[in-house]
Structure 1
Amino acid sequence: MHRVDDTALADISLEEKREMLSADAERARALEEQHKADFEVAAGRHNVAVAEAELTQREAEVRKAQSQLDLASVRREKTELAAAEQQLDLAREGRRVAEAHLAWARERQALLEQNVAVARANHRWADARYELEKARLAARKGRVPDKDFAVRSFEEQADRTHRDVIDARLDATRHQEAAAKAERAFQEQELKYQGRVKSKH
């Protein structure tokens, strides 16, 4: 990234540095958003782990119900067999709920990770805008480091990092849609399962 040495601008008045300081404040806000996104990813990992544990438990319930059905089949007791079949069917339904929950947790995690990518891209863009404002100020004040110094290269850098933000946000939108779809699928599966549980009692 192209940078302007802060010391070259140190003695310029605050009034003249207003745009630069505003860009620096935006850069600090972008960094704060990046830290927040990083924290949310860590929380999302926990949610995925919980959903994985839930699926493991539901799979154990399916195996247990299958064993009970196998035992009832050997005994050939019709009421016991019917109850075991119903229990296995319910356990499988519970497993489908857990699978849907895990799918949703993973989609949500992918979204959170993409939000980190957005936050990082936004921070790079804010940093590029800050450097651009410093470059403009240096050029206005005749404080350029060498004859090859060009504000245009800073403008191009800011434009490039802005395009990166736009691309990252588009990806985040796709992840948001996938997470919303997975959430709806989970909720539908959960409602169906709860209806089965209530009808059993």
Structure 2
Amino acid sequence: MKQPLGIILAGGRATRMGGGDKGLLRLGDGTLLDQVIARIAPQVGALALNANGDPARFAHLGLPVLSDPVGGFPGPLAGVLAGLDWAAERGADAVVSVAADTPFFPCDLVPRLVLAAEGMAAPLALAVTPDGRQPTFGLWPVALRDDLRAALGAGLRKIVMWTDRHGGQAALFDEAGEPFFNVNTPEDLAHARARLEEA
């Protein structure tokens, strides 16, 4: 399999943060998105951002900004599909998704997802911790993008229902320290800032 491409999922409405773009909130010397990009960019062949609305607000990042190909804010699967369509245009076999509000995910995320999907005709794997699946962190095959498009068109919204349907594998991440801690509330952001200062 060729090196996967990467898609950062930032298409949600951030209602628990009062709306707006969570990824543009300040964290450390930059923003949440800066932290996420620094972790995922070295692991993938190219990187894009899934976000809706005016793409100009992300122009400083220098990344392609892909809107949901399905209307009505159907959730992260629409962002995955946007990434798959973009990857297909670039001749890639797969894309790895990460969430824009999760700044501490593992720096070896991609190779561990690829390893979990080894031997599959259409490589599909989700990150899993002892607490459960982390469905916005996954390896997705370009070969199944039309199936995903049809599923979204039929009303499917739950990621794991689609991945289970296609025999999605699990990549276990059992290290300490909440590697998939995500920022949903102002309190979470304060926690992330404290954690970064301690690192």
Q: TM-score, normalised by structure 2?
A: 0.21
The structure where strand makes up a greater share of residues is 2
Q: TM-score, normalised by structure 1?
A: 0.21
Which of structures 1 and 2 has the larger relative contact order (alpha carbons within 8 angstroms, sep 6+)?
1
